[in-house]
């Protein structure tokens, strides 16, 4: 039976969906603009992605405590508007003949920072909005939506780029954030914010509170280390896979799009199955099995070659990997929320995102050097071998005891009572 999560969740889901589709429609737009319009060299294109991740992570670090103590819906709306203005500045500057590489760097950093803050606020608000027993269902819907957007967005964006150029997809991305803000505005009911002494200022120690909480909890610590290492090692190989397929093997752009679009549908299937598998086999068994499986399949990319066999290999390997991720991610996201007290949720989620993005940026640079010294395929293979060890960090059954009771938060009334009251 389908679980009903209420109109407020529906609008939160809508906001996530429309902005996620916008992001994936614009996937690859900045590198294309850098190459085709600004004529940037390959190193500058790589730096654009890595620097954007790293700068956004550093700028977002103090936002965790700030988000924690404020009502979450105004924060989400503000971050959406910040992303809208940043992205909209790109087509405006382009049509005025003022677009520069420096502006792309700034927009990438601002958008990334706002995305981290939005994710922290929306996760904390989801914990307030949805009863604990339905969090897995809610996270599964978010996860499934994300993978469908991953499958549909890049081909649609590619068609728009072919017809109108890469700047048009940035326009679509900007408008998606505006629509997301309008969706958040439609949510009625109470909001939530952690109480804070008005006389107490933000201290340097507050910036570390998220890490202290994560590292203090054995299950969260293991999930944290596992998740950031897996995402870091996988993301480090994506630019190398593009060089391998598009450069050395000369895949057409449409084949490259298929290689990542079709497997994303496996993520949707996995997300839909996640809650059912947990009900039947238990969350620890499912998380462990699929945590191991998602570490095995990336090594299959070591056998990718040119031509149709190589294309089919990428589709098969990525499809199996993404299906396992679709099952695993809603479970770990739910475990993370359930184990985190409500007055720590925004900061823990912000810390998680900051750490993940910093590690991704670092590993991208390291793997770029590694590929230069060896070859893209060799660097991809090394990543696959290292991924085999990451499941050793998954929580054991004894670590998944019931989390501590959730402290009371300051409830902020903004209208009619929400789905859970106040």
Q: pLDDT 10s per residue in the chain (422 long)? A: 566 778 888 999 999 999 999 988 887 788 778 877 888 776 676 677 777 777 877 877 777 778 877 888 999 999 999 999 999 999 999 999 999 989 998 998 899 889 888 988 898 888 888 888 888 888 888 888 888 888 888 778 878 877 888 889 999 999 999 999 999 999 887 777 777 655 455 555 566 778 888 888 889 999 999 999 999 999 888 878 877 887 788 887 677 777 877 888 899 899 989 989 999 999 899 999 999 999 999 999 999 999 889 989 999 999 999 999 999 999 988 998 888 887 788 888 888 888 888 898 888 888 888 888 888 899 999 999 999 999 999 998 876 665 544 444 455 555 433 333 32
Q: Closest Cα partner for 247 from 384, 376, 379?
A: 376
E strand or H helix at 191:
strand 191-193
Whether 5 contacts 130, CB under 8 Å:
yes
Q: How far apart are CA 68 and CA 350, in angstroms?
A: 10
What torsion, rounded to 10 degrees, do the Cα atoms 363, 293, 382, 336 define? Answer: 20
pLDDT at 259: 81
Q: Closest Cα partner for 234 from 420, 328, 330, 359?
A: 359
Whether 167 contacts 91, CB under 8 Å:
yes
Q: Closest Cα partner for 87 from 125, 60, 45, 52?
A: 52
**CB neighbours of residue 77 within 10 Å:** 20
Give per-residue burial for 95-131: e unless 16+ CB within 10 Å, then b. Answer: eeeebebebbbebbbbbbbbbbbbbbbbbbbbbbbbe
**CB neighbours of residue 354 within 10 Å:** 24
Helix residue ranges, H only, 243-306: 253-281, 283-296
Q: How far apart are CA 118 and CA 103, in angstroms?
A: 22
Adjacent-strand bridge partners of 193: 410
Residue with tokens 């149709």: 308
């Amino acid at each position: 039976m389908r679980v009903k999560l209420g109109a407020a969740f529906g609008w939160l889901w809508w906001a996530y969906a429309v902005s996620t589709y916008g992001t994936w429609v614009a996937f690859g737009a900045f590198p294309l603009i850098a190459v085709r319009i600004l004529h940037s060299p390959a190193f500058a294109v790589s730096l654009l992605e890595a620097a954007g991740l790293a700068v956004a992570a550093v700028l977002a670090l103090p936002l965790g405590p700030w988000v924690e103590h404020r009502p979450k819906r105004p924060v989400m709306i503000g971050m959406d508007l910040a992303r809208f203005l940043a992205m909209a500045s790109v087509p405006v500057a382009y049509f005025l003949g003022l677009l520069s590489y420096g502006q792309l760097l700034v927009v990438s950093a601002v958008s990334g920072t706002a995305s981290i803050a939005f994710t922290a606020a929306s996760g904390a608000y989801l914990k307030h909005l949805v009863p604990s027993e339905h969090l897995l269902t809610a996270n599964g819907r978010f996860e499934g939506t994300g993978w469908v957007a991953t499958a549909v967005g890049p081909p649609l964006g590619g068609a728009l780029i072919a017809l109108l150029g890469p700047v048009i997809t940035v326009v679509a991305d900007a408008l998606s954030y505006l629509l997301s803000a309008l969706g958040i505005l439609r949510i009625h009911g109470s909001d939530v914010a952690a109480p804070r002494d008005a006389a107490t200022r933000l201290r340097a120690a507050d910036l570390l509170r998220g890490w202290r909480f994560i590292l203090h909890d054995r299950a969260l610590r293991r999930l944290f280390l596992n998740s950031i290492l897996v995402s870091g090692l996988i993301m480090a190989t994506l630019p190398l896979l593009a060089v391998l397929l598009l450069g050395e093997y000369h895949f057409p752009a449409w084949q490259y799009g298929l290689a990542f679009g079709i497997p994303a549908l496996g993520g949707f299937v996995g997300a839909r199955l996640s809650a059912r598998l947990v009900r039947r086999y238990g969350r620890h068994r499912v998380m462990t099995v699929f945590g191991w499986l998602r570490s095995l399949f990336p090594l299959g990319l070591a056998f990718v070659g040119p031509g149709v066999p190589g294309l089919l290999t990428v589709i098969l390997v990525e499809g199996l990997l993404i299906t396992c991720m679709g099952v695993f991610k809603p479970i770990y996201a739910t475990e993370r929320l359930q184990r985190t007290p409500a007055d720590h949720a925004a900061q823990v989620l912000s810390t998680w995102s900051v750490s993940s993005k910093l590690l991704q940026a670092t590993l991208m640079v390291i793997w770029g050097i590694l590929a230069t010294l060896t070859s893209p395929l060799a660097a991809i293979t090394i990543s696959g071998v290292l991924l085999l060890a990451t499941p050793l960090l998954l929580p054991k059954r004894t670590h998944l005891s019931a989390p501590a009771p959730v402290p009371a938060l300051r409830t902020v009334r903004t209208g009619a009572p929400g789905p859970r009251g106040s």
